[in-house]
Amino acid sequence: MKRYIILALAGVLPLLFLFSSCQSEERVDLPESQEHKEWLPRPESFSENYTLDQMVILSRHNIRSPMVGKGSILSRMTDSNYQWFLWEGAPSLLTPKGTRLESNMGAFFREWLEEKDILDDYANPYAFRFYANAKQRCQYTARSFADALLPGKNANVEMNVQFDTMDPVFNPQITKLSPEFETQAQKEVQVILNDPEIKLSERFALIERVINITGSPAYPDTASFSQFPTSVSFKLNAEPSMSGGLKMACSFADALVLQYYEEPDEQKAAFGKTLTLYDWTNISLIKEWYGDVLFTAPSVAVNVAHPLLITILSEIQNEKRIFSFLCGHDSNIGSVLAALEAEPYELDGAIEQRTPIGAKVVFEKFSGKDGQEYADIWLVYASVTQLRDESALSYKNPPMAKKISLAGLKANPDGLYLLSDVEERLTKAIKAY
């Protein structure tokens, strides 16, 4: 039991959830009578009892090119006759499609906030904040979202360090390191890494089949990712580091998933193979497991997420603010949710089951009719169909949403936490540093 509690805090999903959640990704249009009420599943009387006062968003950037480019491990371990998707520009940059998809999401949030009457206060210079990591993919994501949310306003997108470098607030680095921390962190990492239910070798084999590793320049010296033991290490003022087969496989899983989002032809995206959503979810699992191992062990999460947790709490407690948009990476979302002790969740219509591309953790702050302040937390994301088809998002075709529950916190009958309880959980995670 203790082992599974640790896994839950680390944000690990039961495989049953991973395997079943992508069987149907269709979103049913809301009836005309409902489309201007609550698009989230809430009681009919919700809007009568609660007023939305503020929204704080932690976003992952949208579609980027793979982190590695020509001449990398991708070409060395892929069949020589296969051609990877030809990306525009250098590795790791937000793509034109990613820009358009983020605009779609910003337009949806505009409709959402207009319905709640909290876009009218733009004259207040402190009401809106857009702050992104300085990496190109984060800055451009925030720019696209801001322009769609507030068209014609040319809202400022903060960048606090040199362009295309890592802002310390969004950099998931170890900033406090001791022998005691390393011992505890390694124990937690090994629990996640060695979970027998994940069956990494089977998922490695799926990727190896897709890329036809036996036809690659690296074969036969490298016949499988499983040849290389995986290990994790920690260094002060650096991200947790991994070496071995899981890291190698992650590069391929990441590139394949991004190729699937960008390439209209599904078979071409899989190098001529016919893959199901179940297969794509298993490929994506490799990439997300890599992130979980590195960033979501409890001791690691409160360390690497520390500056971002402080920023989120500060935004929630800023009485002049009505909307905050913080744009970073999947590692930011994963570590923040793990630090807050989020319960495991399953995502409908997604092949990335932890932090889909462009996903947003949305903290809502409400005034209750009873005089209390409340909070709710959702993960909002475009479905795999909406991503591939570049669908316009609206109340008639909304993005997907999953309620985030925090372990040990009790919600009221309408599903809301007391704001003070959420603030206390943030404070707890900050103090755990």
Mean pLDDT taken over the chain: 91
What local confidence, expressed as pLDDT, does residue 123 receive?
64
Give the phi and the psi of residue 40 in degrees, each rounded to 5: -85, 150
Helices 419-431 and 306-316: crossing angle in degrees, nearest 10, is 150
What local confidence, expressed as pLDDT, does residue 19 receive?
34
Which run of H or of E encompasses 325? strand 323-328
3 assigned to some structural domain: no
> Which CATH number do you get for residue 95?
3.40.50.1240
1 assigned to some structural domain: no
Which residue is it, tokens 């932690």? 58
DSSP 8-state secondary structure symbol assigned to residue 329: -
5 assigned to some structural domain: no
Tell me the per-residue pLDDT of 273-330, one tens digit each, with 9 for 90 and over: 999 999 999 999 999 999 999 999 999 999 999 999 999 999 999 999 999 999 999 9
Residue 313 has which token pair? 């709490």
Tell me the per-residue pLDDT of 176-188, one tens digit each, with 9 for 90 and over: 999 999 999 999 9
Q: The pTM is what? A: 0.91
425 assigned to some structural domain: no
Nearest to 211 by CA among 144, 286, 139: 286
Count Cα atoms within 13 angstroms, Cβ side, for 281.
26
Nearest to 354 by CA among 293, 288, 297: 288
10 assigned to some structural domain: no
Tell me the per-residue pLDDT of 324-383, one tens digit each, with 9 for 90 and over: 999 999 999 999 999 999 999 999 999 999 999 999 999 999 999 999 999 999 999 999
Strands (E), 234-316: 241-243
**Full domain range(s) for residue 314:** 18-416
Tell me the per-residue pLDDT of 182-220, one tens digit each, with 9 for 90 and over: 999 999 999 999 888 888 899 999 999 999 999 999 999
Is 365 exposed, middle or buried (CB count within 10 Å of its CB: 0-12, 13-18, 19+)?
A: buried
Tell me the per-residue pLDDT of 235-268, one tens digit each, with 9 for 90 and over: 999 999 999 999 999 999 999 999 999 999 999 9
Nearest to 240 by CA among 293, 288, 194, 187: 293
159 assigned to some structural domain: yes
- Amino acid symbol at 398: P
428 assigned to some structural domain: no
11 assigned to some structural domain: no
Question: Which residues are the active-site residues?
Answer: 61, 330
Residue 212 sits at the vertex; the CA angle it makes with 209 and 213, to the nearest 5 degrees, is 105
Q: How many domains does the chain have?
A: 1
Give alpha helix (H) positions in 353-418. Answer: 384-389
Nearest to 210 by CA among 283, 138, 153, 264: 283
Give the phi and the psi of residue 298 in degrees, each rounded to 5: -50, -50
Question: What average pLDDT does range 139-143 have in this prediction?
Answer: 98
Question: What average pLDDT does range 98-124 have in this prediction?
Answer: 90
- What is residue 30's three-state secondary structure? coil
